[in-house]
Amino acid sequence: MSEHVEQTFVALKPDTVKRGITGKIITIFEEAGFKICGMKMVWADSDILQQHYEEHVDKDFYEGLEEFMSSGPIIAMVLEGVNAVENGRKLVGSTDPKDADPSTIRGRFAHMSFDHADSSDTLHKNVIHASAELDEAEREIEIWFNDNEIHSFEHAHESQVR
């Protein structure tokens, strides 16, 4: 793998699965040239969520976050591509959907702002999680996937997008 080709972790949250928009979002990544090296549907339990959100476990909002993230299945993915972490985050858009460019995943499919969630005493739902840094991606991939669930293969169009 080239030094610029990397893997990142993406999770389509329970609201995405329940809305039936997972295929549309997966297509966005594939059309951008990302390769899906691992993908599975997971009903996350407390252990995996505490590992994933370890920096938030002691915060006031964590209980609601865990309740939401365990309220339905999640599509967990390992995506590979050139500068996958950075380019994946660009496709996903701003964490707060009201600030997300309309061409991004959150800009297209999420609408609840932090302000609205806070004023209506509800959890902020923003459709998708994508690793923010390479070391975070590596850690998250290890949490959600075993080595035998991540596959290496050549895409038919790899010579065109790399």
pLDDT one-digit tens code per residue, 107-131: 898 876 555 455 555 655 679 999 9
Q: Identify the pLDDT of residue 37.
A: 98
Q: Identify the pLDDT of residue 56.
A: 93
Among 26, 49, 140, 34, smallest CA distance to 86 is for 34
Q: Is residue 72 part of a domain?
A: yes
CA 42, 106, 45 angle in degrees (round to 5)?
20
Q: Is residue 75 part of a domain?
A: yes
- What is the reported pTM? 0.89
User: Active site includes 56?
Assistant: no
Provide the number of structural domains found in the chain.
Answer: 1
Among 20, 161, 13, smallest CA distance to 92 is for 13
Q: Identify the pLDDT of residue 51.
A: 97
pLDDT one-digit tens code per residue, 75-99: 999 999 999 999 999 999 988 777 8
Q: Is the pLDDT of residue 27 over 60?
A: yes
Q: In the chain, what is the greatest distance between 2 CA atoms, to the nearest angstrom?
A: 49
Q: Which alpha helices (DSSP H) does 97-152 contain, by range?
A: 105-109, 114-119, 134-144
- Active-site position among 129, 151, 155, 157: 129
Percent of the chain predicted with pLDDT > 70? 86
Q: Is residue 158 part of a domain?
A: no
For 122, the domain range is 10-145
Q: How many CB atoms lie within 10 A of CB 109?
A: 20
- What mean pLDDT do residues 144-152 have? 96
Q: Is residue 152 part of a domain?
A: no
């297209």: which residue's tokens? 108
Q: Is residue 159 part of a domain?
A: no
Q: Is residue 5 part of a domain?
A: no
Q: Identify the pLDDT of residue 117.
A: 52
Q: Identify the pLDDT of residue 4.
A: 87
Q: Is 31 exposed, middle or buried (0-12, 13-18, 19+ CB in 10 A)?
A: exposed
CATH code for the domain of 75 = 3.30.70.141
Q: Identify the pLDDT of residue 19.
A: 93
pLDDT-derived band of residue 157, with 50, 70 and 90 as boundaries?
confident
